[in-house]
């Protein structure tokens, strides 16, 4: 495995981790503000996290 490939894979993993972390943090803030909307917020969060993770896997396989 070459160095640029390893760097690219590392950047993909870091980007996905940051993205999912921001989604989780924002969802927790939203739930704290509106506890009655817990179900809708959680569903939206899980869908967005799954989409980001899927794009991350696609990027890893492309590298």
The pLDDT score that the predictor gives to residue 62 is 85
One digit per residue, the tens of pLDDT, for the chain of length 63 reads: 799 999 999 999 999 999 999 999 999 999 999 999 999 999 999 999 999 999 999 998 887
The pTM of this model reads 0.85
Question: What DSSP element (H or E) covers 7?
Answer: helix 3-33
* Extents of the domains making up the chain: 17-61
Report CA torsion sign: 15, 17, 23, 25. negative
21, 20, 15: which is closest to 47 by C-alpha?
20
The pLDDT score that the predictor gives to residue 49 is 96
The pLDDT score that the predictor gives to residue 39 is 96
Contact 16, 48 (CB under 8 A): no
């Amino acid at each position: 495995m070459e160095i640029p490939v390893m760097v690219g894979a590392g950047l993909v993993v870091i980007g996905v981790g940051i993205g999912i972390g921001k989604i989780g943090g924002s969802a927790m803030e939203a739930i704290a503000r509106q506890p009655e909307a817990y179900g809708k917020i959680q569903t939206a969060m899980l869908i967005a996290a799954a989409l980001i993770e899927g794009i991350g896997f696609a990027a890893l396989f492309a590298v």
